[in-house]
Amino acid sequence: QVHLAESGGDSVQTGGSLTLSCVASGHTSSRYTNYCMGWFRQAPGKEREAVATLDSNGPTSYGDAAKGRFTISLDKAKNTLYLQMNSLKPEDTAMYYCAFRFGGWKPPPLTDDEYSYWGQGTQVSVSS
């Protein structure tokens, strides 16, 4: 069983920056050495959408809203996934979720049904 714990959500003004973190546990004992992790978000009244995903060997994928502003990265030593968000806009306001799947995929998928494990989410609010 994989456990994901997000943190870093906050309330910021337009143009601000935030870094989200997701600590993963329970996956290192698996026989699968490759995996994918990602960030998804869901705003009230909207469907969940992909922000960015990453294969444990390096390849990344970005959703349209994240391209050029957000950067996903992984610190394997700390089992921690990051999302650096710059130039935040009010439309970035959402609950941000960390996701995990066993098995590498290049490029890593941006569809949420490919991910088996999910965190509880961390709230990001951007005011104008």
Do the beta carbons of residue 33 and residue 112 sit within 8 Å? no
For residues 77, 119, 12, 52, the Cα torsion angle rounded to the nearest 10 degrees is: 70
User: What is the pLDDT at residue 62?
Assistant: 97
Is 31 a residue whose pLDDT tops 90? no
User: What is the pLDDT at residue 28?
Assistant: 76
Residues 114, 99: Cα–Cα separation, whole Å:
9
List, for residues 35-93, the tens digit of each pLDDT value: 999 999 999 999 999 999 999 999 999 999 999 999 999 999 999 999 999 999 999 99
